Amino acid sequence: MVSNAKSTAKSNLFSGLKYDLPASIVVFLVALPLCLGIALASGAPLFSGIIAGIVGGIVVGFASGSHIGVSGPAAGLAVIVLTAIQDLGTFEIFLLAVVISGIIQMILGFAKAGIIGYYFPSSVIKGMLSGIGIIIILKQIPHALGYDKDFEGSLSFVQPDGHNTFSELYYMLDFLSPGAIIIALLSLGILILWEQPFIRKRPVFQIIQGPLVVVALGIFLNLIFQSIPQLALRADQIVTIPVAEGLSGFVGLFTLPDFSQIANPEIYITAITIAVVASLETLLCVEATDKLDPHKRVTPTNRELKAQGLGNMISGLVGGLPVTQVIVRSSANIQSGGRSKASAIIHGFILLAAAMSIPRILNLIPLSSLAAVLFIVGYKLAKPALFKKMYQQGTAQFVPFLVTILAIVFTDLLVGIGMGLIVAIFYVLYNNYKKPYFFYPEKHEDGAPIRFELAEDVTFLNKASILQTLNHLPENAQVIIDATNSVNIDQDVIEIIEDFRQNAQYKNIKLEVLGLYEEKKPKDSVRDFAQLVRNGNGANGKLVMQS
């Protein structure tokens, strides 16, 4: 029975291999420069980024419940990592903090903290996707034109080179590289061609992905341009991965944490910071990735936290950066046709094999080729059709969506999400205030009862709207407050109704309250008010007041 279950799981994992294998190659090509760029920005050894990419693909890939999410080092942690390495003194001590952060994430997973991920509004998540798409395009333009001062994978508005996202676009004009521009334009042309229906229909082009052709062309042109001084690419315009001589040299690129610092309190502060930020980024990415999934599968978030925790423990133990689920790689996986987590796992193995066996070939890949690949990824995340669709859904959806985009572009990912969330919560409170309860006195017919039905769950969020409604009731009215279908009523709301009961006699309002006395109400406050109702009238649970 157990062996049958295992074989079934294995067949399911690799049943879509014809889709997952080509997608895994694209994810590998996207992930490679991002791993290196984030390690460089973090002040860590370059190979630590590759290790994190390998662990994120293989370890997290197997442990995760996400079908199309891809994990690896995240740009959002780069500043935290850089500061932590400087404060702790050595990279080995920092690795111990990564291991402990993984343990904390696993605890969060078992504590079912993953439910937090379900509380991000759809408008904010879609704004996050579009914002990241725009940032990808803006950040890759300098790389496409040959100016490569900002690290690959950067998402922050303010850059380490002293510029920001927009000033960099102006500054790069003084450093244009003809060779990089030619490669970028040809690569972009090929990728656009690959997206055309007459190309996509052919089976051979479903197997041979456009990004792979683009990278092969980039390597070929890089070799040709080396003999043409005006077109030759500089060392900072191509991928730079550490080259190890033999197996022993490769093993030497891995680093062990310094366990002698286990009692250092600063390590635990760093570990908690990494665990919280990495978990939040992962949960945001999970929500976004599930929305992009064409099959609309739902990732178990508590399992995802456990998987990320396991990944960070292992990454820290072997010398890697912290990992999270990453939207750039995940969206590249989806756009390339990945259907199961096999693509994430295979991309990890490809990254491992390539780093071991062909680092010199990888070091021929122009960054301008990869910039073209990321242009397509960014465009698909921020399609104009999505803006139109969100606008048509009304201001309550469009405004948080737009605020999230602008905030991400002009700050960073987490700040942008926070600002979008604040605006979305404002609209929730505003709609809760005005939508369910409002009475128009000019439409009221004299003599007709005003029926005021409470919802199933009435919380303090409804307090303002109920208060406004009761205050606007006309004099000499007959009012029925019906709580028959209410399961939970906050004490705040009960107090408002009681205050209105006492005030009604001054307006000659006849008030009837239904359903507050029943034992099905779970809250003591409801039963207390029911007792008040009985004491006030005593007739079948109804309160009738008339001055």
pLDDT at 517 (0 to 100)? 52
How much is the average pLDDT of 52-56? 97
**What 3-state DSSP class applies to 488?**
strand
**Tokens 């990945």 — which residue?**
338
Phi, psi of 445 (to 5 degrees): -95, 130
Rounded Cα distance between 325 and 433, Å, is 37
How much is the average pLDDT of 405-422? 94
pLDDT at 463 (0 to 100)? 77
**Tokens 């879509």 — which residue?**
16
**Number of residues that make up the chain:** 547
411 CB contacts (<8 Å, ≥6 apart)?
156, 157, 419
**385 alpha-carbon distance from chain centroid:** 21
pLDDT at 433 (0 to 100)? 58
CATH 3.20.20.70 fits 441-545, yes or no: no
How much is the average pLDDT of 214-243? 95
Q: Specify the pairing of strand 71-73 against strand 323-325.
A: antiparallel
3-state secondary structure 46-62: HHHHHHHHHHHHHHHHH
Rounded Cα distance between 282 and 277, Å, is 9
Q: Which tokens in the block code for residue 111?
A: 């504590």
pLDDT at 7 (0 to 100)? 45
Asked if pLDDT for residue 122 goes beyond 70, the answer is: yes
Domain boundaries, the chain: 17-115+189-378, 441-545
Q: What does pLDDT average to over the chain?
A: 87
Q: How many CB atoms lie within 10 A of CB 471?
A: 11
Phi, psi of 427 (to 5 degrees): -65, -35
Pick the most confident of 240-249, 303-312, 386-395. Answer: 303-312
pLDDT at 445 (0 to 100)? 62
- Global confidence as pTM: 0.81
| Nearest alpha-carbon partner for 467 in 452, 456, 482, 478 | 452
pLDDT at 154 (0 to 100)? 87
Asked if pLDDT for residue 263 goes beyond 70, the answer is: yes
| pLDDT tens digits along 289-316 | 999 999 889 899 999 999 999 999 999 9
Asked if pLDDT for residue 205 goes beyond 50, the answer is: yes
104 CB contacts (<8 Å, ≥6 apart)?
271, 272, 275, 309
| Cβ–Cβ under 8 Å, residues 74 and 323 | yes
Rounded Cα distance between 411 and 316, Å, is 29
The lowest-confidence range among 31-35, 370-374, 529-533 is 529-533
